[in-house]
Structure 1
C-alpha cells in the first residue's frame, strides 16, 4: 500500500535576488512536492512584502528560528552568516543547500565534521558552472590540473575585498584587464561574493589550493563568463559558459535554477546526472 508523501519543506536563509527567484518559482509550483515553509532575512518586514501573493502566510523569522520549520535549508545569505545558518540544520541531521561556497571553504572542516556526526548533508549545487558532474567523475581517477579564467563586468567586481585592498579603480578601465591570478582558495578570500564558482569547482576536483584561477575585469561585458580547462587521465575537459546576471550583478540567473534542479532531484522518482 502506498500513500502520497508529505511535501518537502524548504527554508530560505536570505531573501535577495536568488531567494526571491526561488520563492517565485515555488509559488508557481515549479517543483512538485516542494513547498516554501519559512524565510529569514535581515529586513524581515521588507521580505514579507516581497513574498509572492500566494506565499504571504509563510513566516519570516530569524535564522535561529528556521530549523524547526523546514526539512531542508537553502542558504543564500551574506557569506559571513554561513555557519550560523547551517549549524542548526546539520545538528538536527538535516540537509543544507549552500550557495556561499567561498565561505564554505573557510568553515569546511567544522561543518563537514558536524554533518558526519549527525547524518546531515551539505549540498553544493552546480550553480553557474558547466560540467561539474564531469569534473566530479574525473576526480574518481586522477586530475593533474584545473584552471578557470573568469571575465566579469566591472560592476560585478566593485567592492570585492581584493579590489579594495589593492586600491583598484575598476571603473577607469578601458579594456579588459587581468586583476587576479592565484589559487581558488585565494580567489574565494579576495572575492567572496563573486567566486563561488571557483570554490565549487575546487571541491569537485583537486581542492582549493591546486585549482588555479584568473579574474579579468571587462568594461564591455554584460555577462559573467567562465572558461575551465581540466586535464585528467580520463578526459580533457574544455568548457565555457556565459551567465546572464540577476539584478545583483555578482550572481547569474542560472544559480537559482540550479537550486530548483536539486530540489527536483530530491523529490523525483528519476535522477539524471551524477
Structure 2
C-alpha cells in the first residue's frame, strides 16, 4: 500500500516537531514536501537534522501532497488551503481563529471533495463537546490564563493600550465571544476557535482571557452545559519555545496524522 503523502506549511516549532516525527517514520505516512518563507534557514535545519525533503512553494503543494499540515502565520491560511482544497485534498489547520471568518474555504472543500481537519491542539474533550452538539448544548464557557509573555503583542492589547508588562497580579484582558476573541488575539486563542467549531459556534461560545504572572503554563478551563451532560475540563499546557504555543499542540497533530492510516481509531 502506498504511503499517504504529508506536506508541512511553515517550519516553526510545530512544523519542525512534526517533520522530525514523519522523517523518523509514521506507519503509512511519508514526509513529501515543506513550504516555508525562509528556504535558506529551512535548508540548514534539514541538513542538521539529516532530513531529505523538497522545499516547494505554496501553490506547488497539491502536486506533492495528499494532506498539508498548516503551521504558518494565520495571514497566509488562504494561500495554503485554497490550492489543496480546489484539488480535492486535505488541509490540517492549526490557525483555527483564521477559519472563523472563512466559511468560503469550507464551501470550497465541499464543492471539490476536499477536507479541512482541525486537530485537538491544546485542549481536551473535543469528543465530548462534539457528542453533546448532536443533542442540545445550552452554553460553553472558557477561561484561559497565560503567562503575560504568552499574550504580549496581541492586536487587542496594542489597540486598547493594555500593558501586561510588570504585572504583579492576574489581569483579565478580555471577555467576549469566541468570534471576537479570534479577531482580537489571532495568534493566542486558536483553542477557543476550535472549541466553538466543535460545539455551538463562535457567537455562543464565550471566553475570558487572563494575563497571570503566577502562571508558568497556558491554562484552559471549559464548562459545558447540555441536555445530555454537564462537564468541566481543565488542562495546563507546558509552553514550547514559542510561549504562545503549548508543547502538546504539535503532539496532537502527530496523533491526528497517525489516525489517518491506523487500523484502530479511538475517539470520534
- TM-score normalised by L of structure 2: 0.98
Residue in 2 that maps onto 1:15: 11
Other-structure match for 1:178: 172
Deviates more, 1:137-146 or 1:20-29: 20-29
Matched, 1:197 2:191: yes
Q: Match of 1:246?
A: 240
Corresponding residue to 1:66 among 61, 65, 80: 61
CA distance, structure 1, for counterparts of residue 173 and residue 266 of structure 2: 38
Deviations 1:84-128 (A, max 9, x none): 100011001001100000001121x20011011111000000111
Distance 2:13 2:44 in 1: 14
TM-score normalised by length of structure 1: 0.96
Measure, in 2, the Cα distance between the counterparts of 1:152 and 1:247. Answer: 15
Provide structure 2 residue ranges, at least 5 long, that are not aligned to the other structure: none
Look up the match of 2:260.
266
Indicate the residue corresponding to 2:249 in structure 1. 255
1:219 matched to 2:213? The reply is: yes
Native 8 Å contact 1:67 1:89 kept in 2: yes
Indicate the residue corresponding to 1:159 in structure 2: 153
1:84 matched residue in structure 2: 79
The 1-side partners of 2:126 and 2:231 are apart by 10
Question: Any conservation in 2 of the 1:40–1:63 contact (CA below 8 Å)?
Answer: yes
**Per-residue deviation, 1:47:** 1.1
CA distance in 2, matches of 1:218, 1:153: 5
- Count of aligned positions: 267
Tell me the SS of whatever aligns to 1:47: helix
SS at match of 2:206: strand
Q: Secondary structure at the match of 2:100?
A: helix
Contact 1:27 1:54 in 2 (8 A): no
How far apart, CA to CA, are the structure 2 residues paired with 1:237 and 1:54? Answer: 46
- Is 1:46 aligned to residue 41 of structure 2? yes
Q: Give the Cα separation in 2 of the matches to 1:48 and 1:106.
A: 34
CA root-mean-square deviation: 0.9
1:236 paired residue number: 230
